[in-house]
């Protein structure tokens, strides 16, 4: 069975979780990289992985790699690649360039390098078909990733990859409405996986639930509901690869994909039926957040499973007996005048945990300035990044 090299991207600091996930599949040569991992596997297995990955943001197929000394060589070497095996002139494209720090010093700009690759690709297709494909910045049929890094002997490594997913995998297709600080769904899933929550024994409480994302991801993890399930229900073309030549010209691969979809839908329906309504609890002081969360729960078919209530987290009492996990993604105090108020909120929150949540394990995703206001001893800390914000997931064992 022929294997191809791929790259899965993920939020910074979640690389090890991604690797743990990759090891659950028939995947080889796994190598951690900043913001993701590279690996080799078969076309069938990459489809299975895309359908089931909770941590990945995107998955790319490596097309070619080579070394260059200057911009001109990028065009010349890219022109040698058989682009007609990747796309047709009727399809649209977009190229994103990513360079490491050394490469940034050696070239004019990533935009110029992207233009050179685009010229090579379109010139090659025009030579074969007599017409060139067009660029679509917003909704391209094919998104190419051009990665350039410093090599030895004053040369640069060039890696050209093809995005297989289109809409990022972090978009689970159950969220609607507007929330001021939405957390990406793959980060929310990671928070659940980074706790010691036992789905068979523990209740799960989100004390500042916002749009309900962490709660939804926890429920899906418990019943092993594929993270792409709601995507599969929402659109006809679920992923970019469905329009790509390597997939459209392989009938057996298309049949395999359809069979995998059917498996996922069947297991998801069974999992949703298995969930009960006395394990997951969400609270938030803001009624608008509660309303948004309720809509998202309805979209995720979990509105009869997860209980929501408007309540101040500093006055929260356990909705059920321990054992259990109480988690929250705290506000970070980025707005002017918020920090002092939030410092007091965090102090009161910590005091409430000490007083009322004996027997629980508490997890907070917060920033250093606010974490200092909680007068509890941490039992573990994990550095994470929520968007552009450096934060820490801290654990408190409550006795």
CATH entry 1.25.40.10 includes domain 185-233+276-398: no
| 150-166: pLDDT as tens digits | 987 889 999 999 999 99
Average pLDDT over the chain, rounded to whole?
Answer: 95
Q: Is-contact 189 217, C-beta < 8 A?
A: yes
The pair of three-digit structure tokens given for residue 136, joined into one six-digit string:
């679509």
Give φ, ψ of 39 to 5 degrees: -170, 170
Give the pLDDT score at 182.
76
What is the share, in percent, of the chain residues with pLDDT greater than 70?
Answer: 97
Lowest mean pLDDT segment, chosen from 12-26, 213-227, 364-378: 364-378
| 314-336: pLDDT as tens digits | 999 999 999 999 999 998 876 54
Give the pLDDT score at 180.
61
- Strand order across the 134-135 sheet: 28-33, 36-41, 4-9, 58-68, 156-163, 142-150, 92-99, 134-135
Domain with CATH 3.30.2130.30 in the chain: 4-163
Distance of alpha carbon 1 from the chain centroid: 29
Q: How sure is the predictor about 231, in pLDDT bands with cuts at 50, 70 and 90?
A: very high
Give the pLDDT score at 258.
97
The pair of three-digit structure tokens given for residue 100, joined into one six-digit string:
């490491």
Which residue from 309, 346, 321, 285 is spatially nearest to 215, judged by alpha carbons? 309
Which tops the pLDDT comparison, 102 or 62? 62
Domain with CATH 3.40.50.150 in the chain: 185-233+276-398
CATH number of 4-163: 3.30.2130.30
């Amino acid at each position: 069975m022929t294997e191809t090299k791929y790259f899965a991207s993920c939020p910074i600091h979640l690389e090890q979780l991604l690797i743990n996930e990759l090891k659950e599949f028939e995947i080889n040569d796994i190598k951690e990289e900043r913001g993701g991992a590279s690996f080799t596997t078969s076309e069938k297995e990459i489809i299975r992985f895309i359908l089931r990955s909770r941590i990945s943001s995107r998955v790319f197929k490596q097309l070619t790699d080579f070394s260059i000394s200057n911009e001109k060589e990028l065009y010349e070497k890219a022109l040698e690649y058989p682009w007609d095996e990747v796309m047709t002139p009727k399809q649209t494209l977009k190229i994103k360039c990513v360079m490491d720090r050394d490469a940034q010093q050696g070239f004019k700009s990533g935009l110029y390098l992207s233009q050179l690759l685009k010229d090579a690709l379109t010139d090659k297709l025009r030579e074969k078909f007599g017409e060139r494909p067009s660029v679509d910045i917003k909704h391209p049929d094919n998104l190419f990733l051009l990665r350039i890094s410093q090599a030895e002997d004053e040369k640069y490594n060039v890696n050209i990859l093809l995005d297989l997913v289109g809409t990022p995998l972090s978009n689970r297709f159950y969220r609607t409405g507007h929330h001021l600080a939405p957390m990406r769904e793959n980060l929310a899933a990671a928070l659940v996986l980074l706790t010691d929550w036992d789905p068979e024994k523990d209740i799960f409480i989100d004390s500042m639930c916002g749009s309900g994302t962490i709660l939804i991801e926890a429920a899906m993890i418990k019943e092993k509901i594929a993270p792409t399930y709601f995507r599969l229900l929402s659109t006809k073309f679920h992923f970019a690869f469905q329009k790509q030549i390597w997939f459209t010209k392989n009938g057996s691969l298309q049949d395999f994909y359809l069979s995998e979809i059917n498996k996922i839908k069947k297991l998801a329906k069974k999992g949703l039926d298995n969930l009960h309504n006395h394990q997951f609890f969400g609270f938030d002081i803001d009624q608008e957040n509660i309303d948004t969360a309720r809509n998202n729960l309805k979209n995720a078919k979990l509105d009869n499973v997860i209980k929501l209530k408007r309540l101040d987290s500093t006055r929260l009492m356990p909705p059920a007996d321990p054992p259990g996990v109480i988690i929250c993604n705290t506000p970070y105090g980025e707005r002017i005048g918020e920090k002092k108020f939030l410092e007091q909120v965090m102090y009161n929150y910590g005091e409430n945990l000490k007083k009322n949540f004996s027997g629980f394990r508490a997890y907070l995703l917060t920033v250093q300035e606010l974490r200092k206001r909680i007068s509890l001893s941490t039992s573990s800390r994990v550095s994470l990044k929520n968007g552009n914000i450096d934060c820490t997931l801290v654990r408190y064992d409550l006795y």
